[in-house]
């Protein structure tokens, strides 16, 4: 068995926006923490927070405008390969493999599927990304891919 799955050219923008939405949530969280820190240090001076927002928000917007075409080009190299040994993930600059015997699959509420290596600790997975593969619904034949993973994973 050797099957390759990739993201359809039609779905590259949707895949890029999925990642940008996560980045926006992270940026907003960082800004809110920064704003709370400034308010706490400066005795509720909202003028400082609003001035910082005027400077930070255009920088965030510029970063997102630069990131969108970059993410689309990176997702063109996205490949999921299923073979006899396990699941392999290929994307420019980040290749991973999880053996079938170590695989744990978890369906997420947003429609994605997280594949974990059971022999890598959760802390190390979060810290480095090693032992963690995220399957997004923009992959061609996504339902077939999920069925193949369910059929081949060993408990």
Per-residue pLDDT of the chain (155 residues; tens, 9 = 90+): 788 899 888 888 888 888 888 888 888 888 888 777 777 776 667 777 777 778 788 888 888 888 888 888 888 888 999 988 889 888 887 888 888 888 888 888 988 888 988 888 888 888 887 888 888 888 998 889 888 888 887 65
Do residues 42 and 48 lie in contact, with contact meaning Cβ atoms separated by under 8 Å?
yes
Whether pTM exceeds 0.85 = no
Distance between CA atoms of residues 128 and 58, nearest Å = 30
CA distance 69 to 31: 24
Phi, psi of 119 (to 5 degrees): -90, 5
């Amino acid at each position: 068995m050797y099957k390759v799955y990739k993201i359809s050219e039609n779905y590259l923008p949707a895949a890029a926006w999925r990642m940008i939405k996560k980045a926006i949530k992270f940026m907003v969280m960082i800004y809110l923490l920064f704003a709370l820190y400034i308010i706490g240090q400066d005795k509720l001076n909202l003028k400082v927070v609003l001035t910082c927002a005027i400077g930070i928000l255009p920088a965030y917007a510029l970063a997102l405008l630069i990131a969108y075409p970059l993410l689309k080009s990176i997702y063109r190299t996205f490949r999921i390969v299923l073979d006899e040994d396990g699941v392999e993930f290929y994307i420019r600059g980040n290749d991973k493999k999880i053996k079938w015997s170590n695989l744990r699959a978890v369906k997420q509420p947003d429609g994605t599927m997280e594949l974990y290596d059971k022999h890598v600790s959760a802390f190390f997975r979060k810290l480095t990304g090693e032992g963690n593969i995220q399957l997004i619904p923009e992959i061609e034949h996504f339902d077939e891919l999920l069925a193949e993973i369910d059929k081949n994973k060993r408990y």
